[in-house]
Amino acid sequence: MSETEFAICPYNESHRIAVFRMPKHLVKCELNYRGPPLKICKYNAAHRVLDMEEHLKECPYYRRFMDNKCLEIALTTRTAPTQEDGHVVSTPL
């Protein structure tokens, strides 16, 4: 039982490539590619798409990135000193 994940090569639908080999494959396949230029997703270099805006709507890596960002913001606001319950604690950050 192998757990290898396969993905479709963005340059050629008939290429089914193991996900871990995709970066290498893309470099090679890009050289033979004759179609319209594809944009490289900022959040996963293995994502090559024509329409980046459309792609970001469904890119799981982008979504994860945005989730992390929201988490970061939540954590930052939580550490803001809002102690108004009587005892003042001075915690040097």
CA–CA distance, 22 with 45 (Å, rounded to integer): 10
CB 42 to Zn ion: min, Å: 8
38 binds Zn ion (CB under 5 A): no
| CB contact at 8 A, 58 and 41 | no
Judged by CB under 5 A, the stretch of 47-55, 65-73, 77-85 that binds Zn ion is 47-55
CB 18 to Zn ion: min, Å: 12
- Residue recorded with tokens 């490539």: 17
CB 25 to Zn ion: min, Å: 6
